[in-house]
Amino acid sequence: MTALNFLILDDADSQSVAGSVSFSSFVDPSVDANLFIITSRKAGVSATNKQQCIAYVELKCPTLDGSVEMIARGWHNEHTIYRIYCRQEDFLLRAAHLRWLLGIREGMEPENTS
């Protein structure tokens, strides 16, 4: 079976007391998964996740412009994203629209976010 490509959207205000968020902990270890992470510079991507990622980007403020969508579309065109995950409410609607844009049928759709 081909690995599942997961796009993870995050915009934490800062690193936690324990350090950078471990995004790989959100994926079941029994699943063959490739991670693609878009996060804020303040939160950062841990050294462990940088090694596990196919690609990542740390943006100054990922909620203010269309950079997230442009980056996600580029990665999807090259690698095919199968799942989108986010933890912040700010990203729920954006993640739903990205699923629609990329043709991903798993997860919340835009009309279900209100």
> pLDDT tens, 7-66?
998 876 545 545 556 677 777 778 888 999 998 888 778 888 888 899 999 998 887 888
Domain of 51, CATH number, reads: 3.40.50.20
This prediction's pTM? 0.81
Rounded to whole angstroms, what are the CA distances from 112 to 65, 71, 87, 109?
23, 24, 17, 5
Domain membership of residue 114 (yes or no) is no
C-alpha 101/C-alpha 40 separation (Å) is: 22
φ and ψ of 75, to 5 deg:
-65, -40
Domain membership of residue 63 (yes or no) is yes
Q: Which residue range(s) make up the domain with 88?
A: 4-108
Q: Which of 67, 18, 7, 15 is nearest to 41 (CA)?
A: 15
Read off the tokens for 37. Answer: 């992470």
Q: Contact 94/62 with Cβ under 8 angstroms?
A: no
Q: Contact 39/58 with Cβ under 8 angstroms?
A: yes
pLDDT per residue over 63-99, tens digit each?
788 899 999 999 999 999 999 988 777 788 888 889 9
